[in-house]
Amino acid sequence: MTWSNAKNKELQERARKVIPRGMYGHESTILLPDEYPQFFSRARGARLWDVDGNEYIDFMCAYGPNLMGYGFEPVEAAAAAQQALGDAMTGPSEAIVVLAETLVGMVDHAGWAMFCKNGTDATTMAIVAARAQTRRRKILAATGAYHGAAPWCTPRPAGTLPEDRAHVVYYQYNDADSLEAAFKAHEGDVAGVIATPFLHETFKDEALPERAFATAARELCDRHGALLILDEVRAGFRLARGSSWSDLGVRPDLSAWGKCIANGHPISALLGSDTARKGAEAIFVTGSFWFAATPMAAAIETLRHIREGDYLERTVAAGRRLREGLQQQAAAHGFTLRQTGPAQMPQILFEDDPDLRLGYAWVTEAMKRGVYLHPYHNMFLSRAHGLDDIAIALAATDDAFAAVKKRRDVLAPHPIVAQMLAPH
């Protein structure tokens, strides 16, 4: 084994001087195992190289943006061609119209589109548009669901004020009664309900949406004149080639998209039905780079591959193979895994592992063997994850299970994580 991290450590030291805490946000390794690399130098297909040259099969896909494989040639070619003509200009290019038409053609509820940069932009625009449309205040959101990092929704409230979420009301995901109770408690003042296609919280098992819950959400919104907002930022186009709730027969009024829609190029989107157009027309939202043409050209090409390619079947097949292999390995080594969520967006936690020390040790062993797994966040598979990659990954995870089994009695938890997860 030649894994090393000298260059990474040197960069971390430099970073600590000029970046608060050395890094911030979801790509900070502060809650990851100590030896996880913070800095990467290259990515291609399903592979990732850190700054020390260690190569990984990457099961995070940039936390979502990588859908077709890193550096997917057709998308890169479309982006480069547009970049040579113009990106951020004094107005948008034709691409914004083509892209809006494309999404309207692919997502059943959509009659229009607006583009932005962050997933948080799209979810925030959704709640502002819902309030403008209904002239009401309350947004019902599921407890623990992540909708971005703006003051109204950031999971760590430091620097935010009670007023920022004074009109956000919480319900329990998959619990129609709690949703109905929230509507009742704020009769006549509910602007919208926001929900992710399935529940994908960090540090917890994932939960698929129950049809009764999705149907009740739609029905309650209709009955009370509120708008249903689907937050597709993380899951969009990973479950279906259109709206994630199509197979449940539920159409939202607004949906927020981002991450993978341009295979890594920076763009997000708010889509809406024609009944939800009035609110979107009333609000003022903008950003310096929101009209830039290059990510739109990349999105148009990515969406073509979403429609015409086999990425969905491939990610499901690879995810299932991984899941089955891990289940067998865990059993053989005397562990029990909780593998939840869609196979192509898996969450993997260990049973009987309250402070996650087993999981942290296992992903560390796998990482050092060239497989980048995440110990508390759902993972992602891309079209580039072939069954051959899964086989290589499984060989490494098998060794990782064996290594953890051997060290089981001397494992210590990650200090911050242990504190976070300790019973209060």
Q: Which amino acid is at 339?
A: Q
Alpha-carbon distance of 274 to 48, in angstroms, equals 42
Task: Find the shortest distance in angstroms from Cβ 211 to a second copy.
Answer: 29
Which residue number, 88 or 212, has a Cβ lying nearer to a second copy?
Answer: 88
Residues 258-297 within binding reach of a second copy (CB under 8 A): 258-259, 264-266, 268, 272, 277, 279-292, 295
Q: Contacting a second copy (CB under 8 A), which of 77, 166, 185, 212? A: 166
340: left (phi over 0), alpha (psi -120 to 50) or beta: beta
Which residue number, 89 or 387, has a Cβ lying nearer to a second copy?
Answer: 89
Which residue number, 176 or 256, has a Cβ lying nearer to a second copy?
Answer: 256
Tell me: does residue 1 bind a second copy (CB under 8 A): no
Residues 92-151 within binding reach of a second copy (CB under 8 A): 92-94, 96-97, 100-101, 104, 111-114, 117-121, 124, 127-133, 137, 149-151
Q: Which residues touch 192 (CB under 8 Å, ≥6 apart)? A: 126, 127, 130, 131, 134, 139, 140, 221, 226, 227, 228, 229, 253, 254
Alpha-carbon distance of 413 to 327, in angstroms, equals 23
Is residue 377 within 8 A of residue 42, CB to CB? The reply is no
Burial code of 320-351, b = ≥16 C-beta within 10 A, e = fewer? bbbbebbeebbeebebebebbbbbbbbbbbbe
Q: By CB under 8 A, which span of 76-84, 206-214, 304-312, 383-391 interacts with a second copy?
A: 76-84
**HSE-CB of 226 using CA atoms within 13 angstroms:** 30
Task: Find the shortest distance in angstroms from Cβ 174 to a second copy.
Answer: 26
Provide the sign of the torsion angle of the four alpha carbons 411, 415, 419, 421, taken in this order.
negative
Q: Which two tokens stand for residue 66?
A: 């990588």
Which residue number, 77 or 212, has a Cβ lying nearer to a second copy?
Answer: 77
Residues 300-319 within binding reach of a second copy (CB under 8 A): none
Contact string 26-65 vs a second copy (x = CB under 8 A): xx-x-------xxxxxxxx---x-xx------x-xxxxxx
The residue among 79, 38, 48 whose CA lies nearest residue 264 is 79
Which residue number, 74 or 219, has a Cβ lying nearer to a second copy?
Answer: 74
Contact string 343-382 vs a second copy (x = CB under 8 A): -----------------------------x----------
Phi, psi at residue 387, to the nearest 5°? -65, -25
Task: Find the shortest distance in angstroms from Cβ 84 to a second copy.
Answer: 7
Alpha-carbon distance of 155 to 148, in angstroms, equals 8
Contact string 180-219 vs a second copy (x = CB under 8 A): ----------------------------------------
